[in-house]
Amino acid sequence: MPDEDLPPAPRRTPGPGTLSVWAGEDEPAPGAGTQVPIVRSVAFGYRDVAQWEAVGRGEAPGDIYSRNTNPTVRAFEQKIQQLEGAESATSFASGMAAISNTLFTFLTPGDRVVSIQDTYGGTNKIFLEFLPRQSVEVALCPTDKSGWL
């Protein structure tokens, strides 16, 4: 039977297993690889400064510096974003980098944070020392009373 006579294949929403493997893997990998490689380059070069500037301004696809964006990290973040059904995702090299970045990005002087007393030591130090120094009020409730939150 010719292909055009076949009914269209049913489209299924990809499940978590499929997303874990394929989300963020839309671009062809170099050398006909089937998965995005681990790109260890710190910086990325372009044929001329104009192209580099276009990428830097976000007007052309690409990466400039791996601490900001990197093909491997982008694929990982897109997997997390799609698995979580989130608007976007970002990743960090350590737990404390994620926690401190989140707190110091969103909190401004005069804000109040409410959490539990028994957080990880580094997190507790931010709550008890660093945030009060930035005029952020921190209220930590007994951990077994987290219902108070």
Ligand X SMILES: Cc1ncc(COP(=O)(O)O)c(C=O)c1O
- Binding site residues, ligand X, CB under 6 A: 94-96, 99, 120, 122-123
Q: Which is nearer to ligand X, 30 or 142 (CB)?
A: 142
List of residues 6+ apart from 13 with CB closer than 8 A = none
Q: Nearest approach, Cβ of 119 to ligand X (angstroms)?
A: 7
Q: Minimum distance between the CB of residue 25 and ligand X, rounded to whole angstroms?
A: 26
Least Cβ distance, residue 124 to ligand X (angstroms): 10
- Number of other residues whose CB lies within 10 A of the CB of residue 77: 19
Give the Cα separation of 105 and 111 in Å (integer).
12
Nearer to ligand X, 51 or 101 (CB): 101
Is the Cβ of residue 55 or residue 96 nearer to ligand X in the bound state?
A: 96
Torsion 27-28-30-33 (CA) sign: positive
How far is Cα 78 from Cα 20, in angstroms, rounded to an integer?
9
Nearer to ligand X, 21 or 128 (CB): 128
What residue is closest to ligand X based on CB?
A: 95
| Minimum separation from the CB atom of position 93 to ligand X (A) | 8
Question: Is the Cβ–Cβ distance between 92 and 98 less than 8 Å?
Answer: yes
Helix (H) or strand (E) holding 22: helix 16-22
